[in-house]
Amino acid sequence: MDRKKLFNPMGVDTLTERKIIKGNSTNIFNLNNVKYGWANHLYRTMMGNFWIPEKIDLTQDRVDYNNLTSYEKEAYDGILSFLIFLDSIQTNNIPNVSDYITAPEINLILSIQTFQEAIHSQSYQYIIESILPKETRNYIYDKWRDDKVLFERNSYIAEIYQKFIENPSDENFAKVMIADYLLESLYFYNGFNFFYLLASRNKMMGTSDIIRLINRDELSHVVIFQQMIKEIKNENPNFFQEDSIYEMFKKAVEQEIIWTNHIIGANILGITEKSTEDYTKWLANERLKGIGLTPIYEGYSKNPYKHLERFADTEGDGNVKANFFEGTVTSYNMSSSIEGWDEI
């Protein structure tokens, strides 16, 4: 893989020559004509989804946190620690990916994604500062150092990213693309469901509001990498090795199940080791179908947490439903409806 030039006078910006990777772009953002129309549509949606965490009141959450069970507190803290890692590494890594993308409309949405990942990191800081006792705040950021399962989990994805930085080969870029897709489409969601489960019992409502907005952003990031992978496959038929993709999916599913059982286990009412396995394998099947591959987990065709979708409000017409979210977010213009999201 060759990193694109900052300015390439010999480049050609015609739509017939434009490619996701390995194109010969001038690197000028000619956005009057775009080849990948889905990116232009997604850009407008992502811009319309702007939000800031400080608009959500977390006063009651601090009271609720003190009344959580010890198991709920441990899960709350641990999941926050993992989510902080995910958004931190994406904030730093997305520009590395964009350096090799030669379609300006794709570069544009990747830059917005980087900004959104930074907002998510700030959101976690706001949650921690507003809710957790001062003496435990640094513990959340450093938990990965002491928790072996979390360390191994973080290391897997980070090493794939780092290997590409050190050796930007086609093979390593292909793995980075799949790793990005896995992170955005599989790694967040058991954690998100934990917060929605608390919200279903009127606990940590403000936290759930913030998580819901992060969740919606992440679904747009799923679309980005889903579409990029499919476009690259069309333009470079042998770029991805299916065996490698399936191997990475199996590893990610295994780690997601181990981590969720480690941090949540069967100690939280409404979540069991079976529901974790059912949900993770169902989700992996959906994500594989999203990039045109055959699902690998037979018998996992239903979402066991379907009842929590009303708390996530990430499906449907994109309007905030008339539930507990109404008091905190209806003042924003944050439409989440884009064509093709039913395929996520």
Which residues are part of the catalytic machinery? 124
Q: What is the dihedral of CA 208, 256, 226, 220, to 10 degrees?
A: 10
| DSSP symbol at 101 | B
Q: Residue 52: which residues within 8 A CB-CB, separation 6 or more? A: 119
The alpha carbon of 149 is separated from its chain's Cα centroid by a whole number of angstroms, namely 20
Q: Which two tokens stand for residue 222?
A: 């799923």
**126: number of CA atoms within 13 Å, CB side?**
19
Give the Cβ contact number of residue 307 at 10 Å: 12
3-state secondary structure at position 49: coil
CB 259 within 8 A of CB 186: no
Q: Which two tokens stand for residue 22?
A: 């390995």
Helices 189-199, 70-98: inter-axial angle, 10-degree rounding? 140
> Taking the alpha carbons of 208, 68, 78, 259 in that order, is the dihedral positive or negative?
negative
* Phi, psi (rounded to 5 degrees) for 21: -130, 160
Give the 3-state DSSP-derived string for 144-194, with helices as H, strands as E and coil as C. Answer: HHHCHHHHHHHHHHHHHHHHHHHCCCHHHHHHHHHHHHHHHHHHCHHHHHH
CA distance 317 to 158: 36
Element (H, E) at 138: helix 134-146
* Phi, psi (rounded to 5 degrees) for 272: -130, 170
CA distance 65 to 139: 16
Q: Residue 247: which residues within 8 A CB-CB, separation 6 or more? A: none
